[in-house]
Amino acid sequence: MNTSSKESILKRLRANTRETFDMPDLGSLSPVTFADPVAEFIAKTTTTAGATVVEMGEGDSLNDIIKGIATGNASNGRVIIASNLPGVDADINPDTATDARELMATDIGVVEGCIGIAENACIWIPQQMKEKAVCFASQHLVIVLSRKAIVSNMHEAYAQIAASERYFRNYHFGTFISGPSKTADIEGALVYGAQAARAVTVVLTA
């Protein structure tokens, strides 16, 4: 689109604008809060985000949960698990991988989430491994998150991130992930796994 066409379109839009509104005072806006952020987070994660939630009970083993997920993904043969979390029997450790491309064959990646946000089911995942590709190359991403780390809104999450250096102790990267990767830009059809994991399971711990 050349400049003249763009200006012509904008001119017509301005000519047909019947009512204008001032920008709101952002200082007067109150972030949404929930009486039970955990319940809201679970509801949003399993509906809007399209992920699965597994709640760990007393005596449950994270490794057994991972093995259960692996069994469900074993139709194509051996399942490759990547993680640096203690207690997870992983085939690949993203801390000792010599190249990020080693993680491209990962079926299940297991990472730790540090903050869950109830309003949008996002989870803050700081880079806590040498090769962060495990967060995006895994076919099925498992995020381990403490129930105590769930807050109501993004304002609270950003305040925690800004106040704590522990999220960037070793690496200067972090990302919010909410459910599996999906897009409807490809021929108007909803496609899962276009940019990252095809499926996401959130394991809630005490």
Q: What is the mean pLDDT of the chain?
A: 91
Q: For residue 130, give the amino acid letter.
A: K
> Residue 47's Cα: distance from chain center in Å?
14
Residue corresponding to tokens 């990547």? 82
Tokens of 9: 């379109």
The residue-averaged pLDDT of 99-128 equals 96
The residue-averaged pLDDT of 91-95 equals 97
pLDDT for the residue numbered 175: 96
Which of 6-20, 54-68, 100-114, 144-158 has the weakest average pLDDT? 6-20
Question: In 62-115, which ranges are continuous DSSP H helix?
Answer: 62-72
Residue 134 pLDDT level (bands cut at 50, 70, 90): very high
Residue 192 pLDDT level (bands cut at 50, 70, 90): confident
- How are beta strands 108-112 and 150-151 bridged, if at all? unpaired
The residue-averaged pLDDT of 8-34 equals 87
CATH 3.40.50.720 given to domain 33-205: no
Tokens of 85: 């979390």
pLDDT for the residue numbered 195: 84
Which of 21-25, 30-34, 122-126 has the weakest average pLDDT? 21-25
Which pTM value belongs to this model? Answer: 0.84
pLDDT for the residue numbered 76: 63
Q: How far apart are CA 92 and CA 143, in angstroms?
A: 17
Residue corresponding to tokens 């990252």? 196
Q: Pick the residue with more confidence: 16 or 120?
A: 120
